[in-house]
Copies of this chain bind each other. A is one copy, B any other.
Amino acid sequence: MAVATLDVEQLTELGRQLRVDAVRAAAAAGSGHPTSSMSAADLMAVLLGRHLRYDFAETQNPDNDHLILSKGHASPLLYAMYVAAGAISDEELLTYRTAGSRLEGHPTPQLPWVDVATGSLGQGLPIGVGLAISGRHLERRGYRVWVLCGDSELAEGSMWEAFEHAGHAGLGNLVAIVDVNRLGQRGPTRHGWDTQAYARRIGSFGWHTIEIDGHDIDQIDRAYAEAIGTSRPTAILARTRKGSGVEAVEDKEGQHGKPVPDSEAAIAELGGRRSIRVEVAAPDGEPERLRPDTGSLRLPVYEQGDEVATRTAFGEALAALGEARSDVVALDGEVGDSTRSRYFEEVRPERFIQCYIAEQQMVAAAVGLQVRGWTPYVSTFAAFLSRAADFLRMATVSGARLCVVGSHAGVSIGPDGPSQMGLEDLAFFRALWRSTVLYPCDANQAAHLTAAMADLSGISYLRTTRGETPVLYGPTESFPVGGSKVLRSSPGDRLTIVAAGVTVHEALAAADRLADLGMAVRVIDLYSVKPVDVATLHRAAAETGHVLTVEDHWPQGGLGDAVFDAFTRVTCVPRLAKLGVLAMPGSASPAEQRQHAGIDSTAIVEAAHELLLDS
């Protein structure tokens, strides 16, 4: 049946079908969130039947609307919609939550119609902002972004970062549908059914708001039409009943996140199974695709021996990338002066997105942008990336491709003190699934690695240094991901010092002093912290017998652990030692900081002696 002809009665029936199928899926799985699905069933029935523009036959159609289930636990509802749209079979629906099924407990892009993984609340709307920015400001396409939100997740600050960004950017292509079912996991939400409390707040951020009965088909339909006709982003606050349609669970506490007690009875109460098939309307016209222009890249070049900060090289390389490649966008958290991402802004202001000090929204927007084919570079202080840790974690579940850059790494920033120092970032980024972690020690290396990130999959992380460091490498040198550079080597080496970033320079100074003392040591610049260059490390260990790592980072989870890990399962393990930041820093000059932290050349020389004399 054609979409435009679905009348109120048919939409009501469709809503019942979605409920029934959500109940069936959860019953088959023995777990899941049917009641959180049932509250939003009418909202989604009307969206699917009347307002969504989506070509299920051509999921890559760039004019397709986006639908994000910010309340990802309502996955049975989403999957029931896919059944109604004919995208998946009823048989597949009943594989929900079983091993090997695409229909996971929370939606992931294993399904071709799912853009991003959700399930950590408060993330769908900020990601939707990224999609809406692309449609409105970068691509100028007519698609719309629909986000189904829960009421509980409105407590997350990230939602308000999204409201602020979208309201200020005037993202009229964004619609937040809030399923106000008043019940969270352990009882009533803060505002219950007070949709006005939400409308007042969201409205104050420049959004258009509409309050409706979320089980009234007409009201829902009119709200969507009104949202489409509004130039501002719209939030629809829909008063609903959790578990709606089944008396045993409807608006009852203690019914969160579990199958309804008697699913057969519930299905009967809902009028039994239906098999309504909705012909979802496809977007009009022939889609024109984004064709990125990856022109010739002219990276900045630095003279060996000059002193240049790697953050500066990153900024200049990013600007060059922006000039060469039309797919590169840059996002800033109001620190572009410090990270040097402002160099990109100077050459490509139209692809520079200022997120102000809202790191969660910044990362979320980048996740949304990469869904649309952009190559986003996200940067702030390494320390402040921790603000977006959960978004980065979820981005790995989404399989998102993000280039993340953290500046002001380590104690080497100097007098600003520990609040500004990234000292846990290597541990965090290493522990992200399929991540790449890069840490350049000089400007040419930083420029090359900045460019290399654009073609990596998953999350790649570049750690930059605030202060100037000498340029060690010539501009034509290559730095493959997973590689390393052996900077000092002789047949008589008795120890290998492994360093990265700022400690490479300390290691070289230490090697020189040790050489003066008659002790030959090898120095490896391990600019690729993940993956590590296992072969080079093994060779060095076999030839020197001792490995000393030194990093401007806490001793846990960073370079040292990465190097040690390279020696798992080997027959002959070298003697290993690790230098990392010893104590909570205060304010001091960069050199004093490294001295206090026990990671400067003197500390390396001492550790080398200790290690060799002791063995």
Question: Which residue numbers of A lie inside 8 Å of B, CB to CB?
Answer: 29, 31-32, 72, 96-101, 103-106, 108, 110, 117-122, 152-153, 155-161, 164, 168, 184-186, 189-190, 200-201, 203-205, 256, 332, 334-338, 342, 355-358, 360-361, 383-384, 386-387, 389-390, 393-394, 396-397, 414-420, 423-424, 427-428, 430-434, 530, 554-558, 560-562, 564-565, 567-571, 573-578, 584, 586-589, 592, 596, 610-611, 614-615
Contact = CB atoms under 8 A, between A and B. Distances in A.
Contacts of A430: 427, 556-557
A392 to B, nearest CB: 8
A390 B397 contact: no
A516 B32 CA distance: 40
B557 A356 contact: no
A201 B167 CA distance: 12
Contacts of A420: 105-106, 119-120
Contacts of A557: 427, 430-431, 556-557, 561
B415 A186 contact: no
A577 to B, nearest CB: 5
Contact of A185 (B96, B189, B334, B383): B334
B358 A157 contact: yes
Residue of A189, A557, A558 ringed by the most chain B CB atoms within 10 A: A557
A586 B415 contact: no
Contacts of A356: 152, 155, 184, 189-190
Contacts of A337: 185-186, 256
Given A416-B105, A575-B571, A584-B433, A357 B428 contact: no
Contacts of A158: 157
Contacts of A96: 587
Contacts of A358: 155-157
B417 A106 contact: yes
Contact of A184 (B184, B334, B360, B416): B334
A576 B586 CA distance: 37
Contact of A576 (B160, B418, B432, B568): B568
Q: Please give the count of copies of this chain that the complex contains.
A: 2
Given A164-B155, A190-B168, A418-B108, A428 B389 contact: yes
Contacts of A568: 560, 564, 576-578
Given A105-B417, A108-B418, A420-B119, A357 B184 contact: yes
Contacts of A203: 204
9 contacts: A97-B415, A98-B587, A99-B589, A121-B357, A156-B358, A427-B427, A560-B565, A560-B568, A567-B576
A160 to B, nearest CB: 4
Contact of A428 (B338, B384, B427, B434): B427
A119 B156 contact: no
Nearest to A416: B105
Contact of A565 (B159, B190, B431, B556): B556
Contacts of A101: 586-587
A587 B104 contact: yes
